[in-house]
Structures are given as structure tokens and as C-alpha cells.
Amino acid sequence: MAHCPERINPGDPKWNVTNIPRVVGSFTKAGLDKAVKFYENIIDASIMPMKSIREAEAVKIVENSFRDINIAFVNELAKSFDKLDIDLNDVIKGASTKPFAFMPHFPSCGVGGHCIPVDPYYLIERAKASGFDHEFLKIARKVNNSMPEYTVELMQDALNKLKLPLNGTVVGVMGISYKANVADLRESPSLKIIKYLKKHGAEVITFDPHVLDDSTEKSLEEFLKKATAVIVATNHKEFERMDAELFKQNGILAIVDGKNCIDPEAIRKLGIIYKGIGR
């Protein structure tokens, strides 16, 4: 028996199952050799043999926990920098000019998918059973889990400036899949955003060109006509390329950009209230 942990980046045109390096573990040397040879024959990438299946599985857990922790760091910075009136996205881009010891991660309305928000819990619980408490991982999960509610709080702040209550206001959620340009709802932050909006009495409508069957509106035009305010919860290419004038023409009064994918100045010049995550 051998194990090769999944490595895939949905929606990525460059990295796919045929060219991503892999790790393989097995219970026996013979099993490891066969597994390495098998993967060498079907993918065009390096294969690193691990000493055991447990090590191979741990690689996957570490990869996703690393991402979760770093995303939590910038999400917490976003909350802080919102108070300090500093554009975190610009700061991260500035820090990225350092050619070593920095890896850029960007804040958003939450972490989704079937890996990053799930895998850390396997390590947390397994370590707990062995007598170790992963405090750092638990804090990261808490921070990232808080972002959908924080996004709704930003919408509440925007509506307060307009002297509008969240209760009864039609809020449109643009994008319900967990990631740009994919049709996957698993652990999507959008679903939690919708839940919190409804909890506060908002009338919620949704539109996602990649998940039309689960959208309340079947076209962007119909969606914008009905909405008073909008939360951009997924950075689909269709949304990134949108003409800002469309929001103005349809009477959108406030936008919370949960993926920081829309030009804030273009929106503000139109007299629309704009709030991003950390900007």
C-alpha cells in the first residue's frame, strides 16, 4: 500500500495534476518503489519518496496549515489596518519587493474549499489525542472563520452612512463558489455571509455565473436591478472585468469588496460607498 497526497489548484491554468511535484509514502520499500515508478510514468514532475505514509500525509497537512496560518495573519492585519486607515494590499505589495523571507498572502472575506479550512482540524485533534495543544492553528481557524461575519459588519457600516438599516435592505452577494472561476460551493465563505445577512434581516439575492443553479438570479442584469447594496464574495474574472458604471446605472449605493478585486477609486468617483477588506 502507498499514498500520494492530492495536490491541485482548481481554476489554475498553469499548475495541474500532470505537472505538480508530488510526495509518496508507503509501508514498505517495495511498495514505495512501485508507487514512485507509477507516478513517474503518468506525470511530468518530480516525485519525492517519504519514509512512511504518515510522513506523506503530514506533508499535506503542513502545506494547508501553512496557508491557513498566513491567511489568518493578513486577515487579522486587515481588521487592524481598517482601524488605522492603512491600505493593507498596498503594504503587502510593498513588502513583496523584498526578494527573500517574505511570501505574499492577501486578506479576504473568508477561506473556503475542501482542504484549507478542514485539514488543520485533523492535526489539531490528532495532536490533542497525543497530549499536545495546537494553539496557533486554533487561533488561525478562529480568525479565518470570523471573516464572513466581519464582511457583513462592513456592509452594516456602509449602510449606516446611508442611514439605511441592514434589516429589510436588498443585499446582493456576487459569487457563491468558494474560489474564482470554479463551480464549487464546499465551505464557501459566501454561504456564511448569506447566513449572517439573513440573521440581521437583510433580503438576500445571489448571482454566480459559475453556479447559476444555486443563484437566486440568473443574470447579472437582473441581479443589479434588484440589489440596493452588493457584497463581492468571489473574484470571478467576470466581476473583475466589470465596468464600474454598471453599479451606478443600476442604483447600487454601497459595495463591500470581499476579495479586493474591484478598483475602489473607480467606485468612489461614482459616489458609491466602497469598503474592502483591509483597504
Q: What is the pLDDT of residues 153-167, one digit of tens each?
A: 999 999 999 999 999
Tally the domains of the chain. Answer: 3
Are 117 and 77 contained in the same domain? yes
Helix (H) / strand (E) element for 190: namely helix 189-199
Q: Are residues 152 and 241 in the same domain?
A: yes
Same domain, 241 and 264: yes
The answer on pLDDT for 239 being more than 90 is yes
pLDDT value of position 143: 99
DSSP 157-218: HHHHHTT--STT-EEEEE--SSSTT----TT-HHHHHHHHHHHTT-EEEEE-TT-GGG-S-S
Residues 75 and 124 in one domain: yes
pLDDT at 178 over 90: yes
Q: Is there a single domain that holds both residue 35 and residue 70?
A: no
pLDDT beyond 90 at 12: no
Q: Report pTM.
A: 0.94
- Domain of 25 in residue numbering reads as 2-51
End-of-domain residue from the set 91, 122, 139: 139
115 part of the active site? yes
Query: Are residues 154 and 272 both part of a single domain?
Result: yes
Considering the domain architecture, whether residues 161 and 238 belong to the same structural domain is answered as yes
C-alpha cell at 185: 460551493
Q: Outline where 133-177 has alpha helix (H).
A: 135-161
The conformation of residue 29, written as its DSSP 8-state character, comes to H
**Mean pLDDT for the chain overall:** 97
Are 153 and 235 found together in one domain? yes
> Which residue among 108, 139, 170 closes a domain?
139
pLDDT tens-place string over residues 40-56: 999 999 999 999 999 99
pLDDT band at 13 (very low <50, low <70, confident <90, very high): confident
End-of-domain residue from the set 18, 36, 51:
51
Span 225-233, average pLDDT: 99
Provide the CATH number for the domain around residue 85: 1.10.1040.10
pLDDT at 128: 98
